[in-house]
Amino acid sequence: MPAIAPSNHVPHVHQNDRYSPWTRHIPSVVAEMGYLKTSDGNPFTYMYEPPAGIEQQNCEFELVRMPIRDARHLPSRPSLDVEGFALWDAPTLVTDFRNEQEIIARYHAETSELVRAATGATSVIVFDHQVRKREAGRPPLAFGRSGDGSNPGAVGRVHVDYSEETGQKRLNLVLQDTERCKSVARFAIINVWRSIKGPVLDTPLAVCDARSVGAGDLEACEIRYQDRSGNIYLLRHANRHSWHYYSAMERHEALLFKQYDSLINSVSRFTPHAAFDHPEATAATPLRESIEVRCLALFN
């Protein structure tokens, strides 16, 4: 198993110093983030061509220009239980991320070990993964798949993968054991995001400091598939939202961010995220390719 460790790109200082005046000088970019603006009733989005006479979605989005700090230059390293995200140096032995069998056989095990190390969980179960490739000329502000559905692109609308309701449901879906579910003292859903090519330069992933998000900013949205449906959270804009990204993420690095935590009040629980167009990217900038893995972390 490759060595894994928290990224050591930044100096470590006391947590209380994080928002000192020094942080105003952290390198940042300004980019458009896709926030929920309005909806006609409870928001919904079809992830396929809806039945005749039914609209694709009943909500509108707005692009808001937001500063996005380069988290490599923060005075202390963010953590999953505080800010809701963390960068780890985690080399992988996977040779081909287009090989589904190799992902399942090798990468799932690597990712489980990484999440255990990052969270202290008793056990970790990988239950989903998604390989994404940015398409030339296609903006990131989109849900769903393009073309024949085989190549998911970047997701540009700010969202959280699970709501309060669906976070609880995921535990049951993964374990499929009612008695075992009852015995779980705490569980969390952690996403692990990695470049599978070169450095990510055109559409990095931005994560929002969970402490800057209020409960009223989150709006449940029903995502409708042909065979199922479930809720995610969309995010309404607030100036206090604190956005971060890791510049030029390489293949040996993994960005972990929390999508749900059953523990209430004492830790971060929901981390909004979205891809954004880096303002310095040009037509010649290599298109990013990435993999995102979803994990259930169990604490007993």
Inside any domain, residue 229: yes
What distance in Å separates the CA atoms of residue 179 and residue 214, rounded to the nearest whole number? 34
What is the pLDDT at residue 147? 40
What distance in Å separates the CA atoms of residue 190 and residue 231, rounded to the nearest whole number? 17
On the question of pLDDT at 37 being above 50, the answer is yes
Number of separate domains in the chain: 1
For residue range 104-131, list pLDDT tens digits in order. Answer: 999 999 999 999 999 999 999 999 999 9
Per cent of the chain over pLDDT 70 is 87
> What is the arithmetic mean of pLDDT over 262-273?
96
- Return the C-alpha torsion angle 199, 32, 209, 259, nearest 10: -80
pTM of the model: 0.88
Tokens 């200082």, located at residue: 13
Inside any domain, residue 244: yes
CATH number, domain at 173?
2.60.120
For residue range 168-224, list pLDDT tens digits in order. Answer: 999 999 999 999 999 999 999 999 999 999 999 999 999 999 999 999 999 999 999
On the question of pLDDT at 39 being above 70, the answer is yes
> What is the arithmetic mean of pLDDT over 33-39?
93
Inside any domain, residue 15: no
Specify the higher pLDDT residue, 299 or 13: 299
> What is the arithmetic mean of pLDDT over 239-250?
98
On the question of pLDDT at 137 being above 80, the answer is no
Inside any domain, residue 187: yes
Contact (CB, 8 A) for 208 and 241: yes
What distance in Å separates the CA atoms of residue 167 and residue 269, rounded to the nearest whole number? 10
Inside any domain, residue 1: no
Inside any domain, residue 26: no
Q: How confident is the model at residue 247 (pLDDT cuts 50, 70, 90)?
A: very high
What is the pLDDT at residue 295? 98
**Domain of residue 48, residue span:** 33-74+83-299
What is the pLDDT at residue 134? 79
What distance in Å separates the CA atoms of residue 200 and residue 219, rounded to the nearest whole number? 29
Inside any domain, residue 17: no
What distance in Å separates the CA atoms of residue 66 and residue 108, rounded to the nearest whole number? 34
**Mean of the per-residue pLDDT values of the chain:** 88
> To which H or E segment does residue 258 belong?
strand 253-261
Inside any domain, residue 114: yes
On the question of pLDDT at 132 being above 60, the answer is yes
